[in-house]
Amino acid sequence: MSLLVIGSVAFDALETPFGKTDKIIGGAATYISLAASYSTRPVNLVAVVGDDFPQADILTLEEHGVDTTGLQIKPGEKSFFWSGKYSQDLNSRETITTELNVLGSFDPVIPTSYLDCKYLMLGNLAPQVQRLVIQRLVNRPKLIVLDTMNFWMDSAAADLLHVVEMIDVLSINDEEARQLSGEYSLVKAARKILTLGPKFLIIKKGEHGALLFHKNKVFFCPALPLEEVFDPTGAGDTFAGGFIGHIAATDDCSFENLKRAVVRGSAMASFCVEKFGPERLLNLTDEEIEAREAQFAELVRVVPAAVVA
Amino acid sequence: MSLLVIGSVAFDALETPFGKTDKIIGGAATYISLAASYSTRPVNLVAVVGDDFPQADILTLEEHGVDTTGLQIKPGEKSFFWSGKYSQDLNSRETITTELNVLGSFDPVIPTSYLDCKYLMLGNLAPQVQRLVIQRLVNRPKLIVLDTMNFWMDSAAADLLHVVEMIDVLSINDEEARQLSGEYSLVKAARKILTLGPKFLIIKKGEHGALLFHKNKVFFCPALPLEEVFDPTGAGDTFAGGFIGHIAATDDCSFENLKRAVVRGSAMASFCVEKFGPERLLNLTDEEIEAREAQFAELVRVVPAAVVA
């Protein structure tokens, strides 16, 4: 089912305790699109880059079923660039450089061929831009998922609340849920946030898993205990991509299916952190993904004693 | 099946953002025994208090099926006392007072009627004392579970490693697992720790759940997302009590049954934090506990799409 993804396509330069990279392809929409492409194709992409963005990287996206008709290339301008350095335990990171470049004036033009979009994934971007996208679609999508971050809560809170009213699923991390709600307890935070518009709330807790709230129901998916986390960049976006990809592929917005989508997203994120940037997302097989999903099921599996006896 | 619990029985004075208490009954063995008593009785207790310890509190333990034959009462001496204050988010606490008192010279005398112990729970205490208990038993118990903390890793590392060699299940938190192994990754930490003697390792992550490692297998049990955590004191000990109580009641030391024991421990701990000290553990019903365990199962339940179709 037609999936539209909006977000940044960019350059990142990363430093972790395990090494550092030069400028590599990054950006929320890159991770989302690649992760979703293992469930559903095409992934219709709306994003903007400068003419410094390599044709080879655009081709890589195309090879993964990403339709780049909506990828604007601004002549004479530079792509969004972020560089950062992770702490020894990878639990915090320091931003070294943020160059907005083309993203500073991003006007999300949606190609006519994308307008019948049934599933919309709004990757982390200025809330005004996210809202513009919804307004420019002819029909209201069946499901709108929005990912955002504390930066917009600090700098554009009113705009953010405005777009949050219009969506179905909000995806944020635990600290952001606390900030947005003013509640420390995630259960209380979720209850408040679910009055702001969304019917579903995902709270991402990184290495501690993810929670899905809906009405009075809650689902928890752990993160897989990993021997080595190499680079956490893009894990949250990859989660979102796996999540929306599963829903678009199955065309089922029930709570039960959203639970499965959270497992899919968690499995995709567990691959993402194994290598630098989106590298691990470029050559996955269906067998690898299924085996990883089975590990998630096994991790929490308890056989009741009565069944054993 | 005969369960022996060793640990502190003490006074605590607690301050949380929600209020403060005068001296109330506390101590690892108190929480362990009460939690275990909902699965198996009697719980044979070996501990020491001063003559300041109220007869009423001893009666409370007795009423919950705790055999206090092994509770030494030292005339003219005072019970162990700890007071502490929790941070606003309950994630850290400051020790205000630690008075070892009778615990400073604790010689764990094991009553003859306890000597056939099949299940042994060594609550947090000096590792030398934990080891003495094992040596004083006539027969080696079927399963020995040991809980400890970073304090002993700092101050009595050699003694701790010595007793850890002799046990079956080690129960520590994530920071302690990292400290003991020198590995940040919990998967790597577990692999190292499982070479030190124990066949099973429990890593408690507080509000982020608990992991059970055995050989190359791992099980994860989330913590229940709670609306309000009132007082986390004793949650880890309560977990241990629920865990060993379940194993003693079922007399089954398989990995599958230890997984169920982790769920039981987590359920008991989720009650413990609802009120000050051990208060919530005094009047639970089997129905409440079963309903809570069902919530844990529901929290991670995913129905595969194929089953639904």
pLDDT band, residue A1 (cuts 50/70/90): low
Axis crossing angle, helix B255-272 with helix B235-250, rounded to the nearest 10? 140
DSSP string covering B83-129, please?
EEEE-TTSS-EEEEEEE-GGGGG---PPPGGGTT-SEEEE-SS-HHH
CATH number at residue A139: 3.40.1190.20
SS3 state at B277: coil
Global pTM reads 0.95
State the smallest CA–CA distance between residue B268 and chain A in angstroms: 17
pLDDT at B309: 46
Per-residue pLDDT at B210 exceeds 50: yes
Question: Using the beta-carbon criterion (under 8 Å), do A259 and B302 form an inter-chain contact?
Answer: yes
Q: Which of B300, B301, B303, B307 to mutate to test the interface with A (most CBs of A within 10 A)?
A: B300
pLDDT at A152: 96
CA distances from A194 to A255, A284, B277 (A): 14, 35, 33
B186 assigned to some structural domain:
yes
**A31-61 per-position pLDDT tens digit:** 999 999 999 999 999 999 999 999 999 999 9
SS3 state at B264: helix
**B115-126 per-position pLDDT tens digit:** 989 999 999 999
B308 assigned to some structural domain:
no
The angle subtended at Cα A4 by Cα A211 and Cα A164, nearest 5°, is 50
Q: Which residues contact A107 (CB under 8 A, 6 or more apart)?
A: A132
**A112-169 per-position pLDDT tens digit:** 999 989 999 999 999 999 999 999 999 999 999 999 999 999 999 999 999 999 999 9
Q: Which of A220, A273, A308 to mutate to test the interface with B (most CBs of B within 10 A)?
A: A220
- Nearest CB to B219 within list A220, A259, A299: A299
Structure tokens at B131: 């080891």
Axis crossing angle, helix A28-36 with helix A255-272, rounded to the nearest 10? 110
Arithmetic mean of pLDDT over chain B: 95
- Nearest CB to A300 within list B89, B220, B225: B220
Do B227 and A187 touch, CB atoms closer than 8 A? yes
B307 assigned to some structural domain:
no
Q: How many CA atoms lie within 13 Å of B271's alpha carbon, on the beta-carbon side?
A: 29
Q: Print the domain residue range for A57.
A: 3-308
SS3 state at A241: helix
B309 assigned to some structural domain:
no
pLDDT at B180: 98
pLDDT band, residue A88 (cuts 50/70/90): confident
CA distances from B158 to B146, B155, B162, B164, B197 (A): 16, 9, 6, 10, 14
Distance CA B141, CA B115 (A): 10
pLDDT at A211: 98
- Nearest CB to A208 within list B89, B208, B260: B208
Per-residue pLDDT at B111 exceeds 80: yes
Arithmetic mean of pLDDT over chain A: 95
Buried b (16+ CB within 10 A) or exposed e, A92-128: eeeeeeeeebbbeebebebeeebeebebbbbbbbbbe
Percent of chain B with pLDDT over 90: 92
Structure tokens at B129: 């004392």
Structure tokens at B294: 């069902």
Q: Which residues contact B283 (CB under 8 A, 6 or more apart)?
A: none
DSSP single-letter state for residue A234? T
Average pLDDT, stretch B48-72?
97
Q: Which residues of B touch A227 (CB under 8 A)?
A: 185, 187-188
B203 assigned to some structural domain:
yes
pLDDT at A307: 57
CA distances from A156 to A7, A22, A125, A127, A226 (A): 17, 31, 11, 7, 36
pLDDT at A196: 98
Question: Using the beta-carbon criterion (under 8 Å), do A228 and B184 form an inter-chain contact?
Answer: no
Question: Using the beta-carbon criterion (under 8 Å), do B299 and A220 form an inter-chain contact?
Answer: yes
pLDDT at A309: 46
Do A15 and A85 touch, CB atoms closer than 8 A? yes
DSSP string covering A174-223, please?
HHHHHHHHT-SSHHHHHHHHTTSS-SEEEEE-GGG-EEEEETTEEEEEPP
Q: How many domains does chain A have?
A: 1
The total of other beta-carbon atoms located within 10 Å of residue B63's CB is: 10
**B152-202 per-position pLDDT tens digit:** 999 999 999 999 999 999 999 999 999 999 999 999 999 999 999 999 999
**A2-42 per-position pLDDT tens digit:** 999 999 999 999 999 888 999 999 999 999 999 999 999 99
